[in-house]
Amino acid sequence: MRSYTSVLVGQLLLATVCCSAGLFFLFVGYDAWSDAPGWGWPVLVFGSGLVITVVIPVAATAAARQMFPRITRRHRVKGGRTSYEDDTFVMWAPRSQQGSAQARLARADVLEASLSRYRPDGESTFTTHYGNYTPDEFTPLIKLRLRVHDADVADAATAFEVTGEWRVPSLCLSAITAGRLVVLVAPSAPGAERTVTPHWPRSALLAGTRTCRVTDLEGRTAVVTRRVERQLQQMRISRDVGGVAMNGDTIDLRRLDPHTAARYAVLADQDRTHPEVQAPVSEPGEEARRLADQLPGEQGAFGSVGRGWSRRGGVLVRARFLELRARTTFQDHGPVLDTILRIQAPDGTPPFDAARRLTVPMNYLTALHRTKEVVLSVSRNGASYDVDWARTNLLAGVTEAKVITPDGRELPLVGRPDTIWTLMNLLASHGLSNPSPVLDLRKRRMREVAGVVLDACV
């Protein structure tokens, strides 16, 4: 398991090589000043070398903190926990094209999806773009086959299919996996091909990736997440009036103008009279639109275990994303996001919230509609938490986990995150590394835990 110390040492060596001129100036300046003491050029050279040399540990520490996803006390949200509820998830994604005023918002089901292109040139370095936009090289091009329901009620008789390629912001990839999009359908002449433009932030909302609540004029709050028809109607109202602000994940009708609030209230009354059934987490046919295997990111694994970390009482804990906010910095395997996590403390004390800038892998973002959980490894003194993306991706189902029994049978663990979590902790407590998604109990080193593993898998 890679440690912060190893990353820091690597960055120190890199910074030393890059700033080697500073060490050279130090020696030259000191030697010249020894031969001719005074305030002339030897002191200037020595001072320049000293400044450059001081930059080495500063730059190395800053780079290590950026590269290694470690959470410490300084990342805790001031004032304790935020106002977010435990099941809240707020996402701030780049804006989509608004389309023409005559275009109509409609629902589209994703029938098939495949990656057409994603090949940025930055390798593992951090690339920052200025301006409020996402560059094409960090926005995957996805080929989609959609069934568009250009009517208030999804009806096969009024639906039509369209195939095309679209740039999808990485924060909204889960909407494709979930299979529900919001699209703008432009008016067209009879018999002409209809122009369809996906609206990605609204798609993430309709897919259930981002949670949604509505507080009515009497102060009652209702959960609207995955209430597809009601959300579509709300989006159309919002578009008509030029936008409705969400406070976190909540639309408060008491903050809207009376006319807009009344239109929202009609929808709320209709939902109370005839409650809408929540849509599934993922529409049928997910295997035809699975993108996790086609996009970069760490492969899921039961995880590596450092012997020192395990012997000294290191443990694993779970955290949950409450907020993700897009920035203009990217790595090849994922965007750099401002995040807020709610962390379950290992000592049983109440959870706490931490704000941390993290690079979130692309393959994890495709499963964001299902889970927002993250696995953290905790130092023995509980002072720091390291994000473990290999374990996180396995727990999230990005990579499918399975166990091979001593007699060679395969036990798939698809859709069983609690069982996977139990096995991760079991291996960590015994100091057993398994850097793959397959736990093979036929291996000699696994014999001592084989019985417990099989009991957990029953």
Q: List the chain domain ranges.
A: 4-68, 93-211+224-242+256-288, 295-457
Cα torsion for 415, 421, 424, 430, to the nearest 10°? -140
The reported pLDDT for the residue numbered 48 is: 56
Q: How far is CA 50 from the centre of its chain?
A: 41
For the stretch 230-283, pLDDT in tens is 999 999 999 999 899 898 899 999 999 999 999 999 999 999 999 999 999 999
Residue 335 and residue 360: Cα distance in Å, rounded?
6
SS3 314: coil
For the stretch 112-146, pLDDT in tens is 999 999 988 766 678 888 776 678 889 999 999 99
CA nearest neighbour of 208 among 239, 182, 185, 184: 182
Find which of 10-14, 133-137, 309-313, 392-396 is predicted with most confidence, using mean pLDDT.
392-396
CA nearest neighbour of 119 among 305, 333, 303, 434: 333
Name the pTM for this structure.
Answer: 0.86
Q: How confident is the model at residue 52 (pLDDT cuts 50, 70, 90)?
A: low
The reported pLDDT for the residue numbered 194 is: 83
| Host H or E run for residue 149 | strand 141-149
Residue 85 and residue 77: Cα distance in Å, rounded?
15
Residue 375 and residue 401: Cα distance in Å, rounded?
15
Name the percent of the chain lying above pLDDT 70: 81
Determine which of 131-145, 163-177, 195-209 has the lowest per-residue pLDDT on average: 131-145
Pairing mode, if any, of strands 159-167 and 104-117?
A: unpaired
